[in-house]
Amino acid sequence: ILKTTLLKINSLDFKNRVADLRIKIKLKIFIPGFTNFPDMYEKMLKKLGIAADVTNNGLEAYKKYIASPLNYDLILMDCEMPVLDGYLSTAKMRDFEREQQLRPVHVIALTAHAMREQQQRCLDVGMNNFLAKPLAFARLKQVLVQTFA
């Protein structure tokens, strides 16, 4: 199970770096959850010049997000987390954003389940995109470029 990651992206810097195929962004990432490979995803992001905030479960992720919702541009949300799973955590974040009239943060689901039903479930709770685990570095970079370029 992966932790959820919240990202803060300096969009102009990100767009400038994409031109030379490097993702050098000032980014704040939040990774909630529990994983057997906690450093793997953080290392991928670090390779792209992105630092991460990490929590241990979906409830911590939700609390951290609502404490400072404007600090993040992207959340990499593990769907299977203890205490509060990624689906419910995302749904609660979306409710909070509506109540506070905030722009929705971009949420990318991370899950080992790559079936259409899982993808639809992610979209139904308000996630914007879907990545299957194990996550390849090239795929992560591709999605970040598509999202913020």
Contact 82, 57 (CB under 8 A): yes
User: Rg for the chain (alpha carbons), in Å?
Assistant: 14
Judge contact between 76 and 2, C-beta under 8 A: yes
CA–CA dist 139, 131 (Å, integer): 8
Residue 132 confidence (pLDDT): 86
Give me the pLDDT at residue 66, please. Answer: 94
Nearest-angstrom CA–CA distance, 100 and 82: 27
What is the pTM for the complete model shown? Answer: 0.79
Instruction: Answer whether 130's CB lies under 8 Å from 122's CB.
Output: yes
Task: State the angle between helix axes of 11-18 and 137-148 in degrees (0 to 180), rounded to the nearest 10.
Answer: 120
pLDDT score for 4: 57
Question: Along the 149 residues of the chain, how does pLDDT read in single tens digits?
Answer: 445 555 555 544 554 444 333 333 444 555 555 455 557 777 888 888 887 777 888 898 899 899 999 888 888 888 888 888 999 999 999 999 999 999 999 999 888 877 888 899 999 999 999 888 888 889 988 888 888 77
So what's the pLDDT on residue 6?
A: 58
Nearby residues of 6 by Cβ (< 8 Å), 6 or more positions away: 28, 29, 30, 31, 52, 53, 61, 64, 65, 71, 72, 74, 75, 105
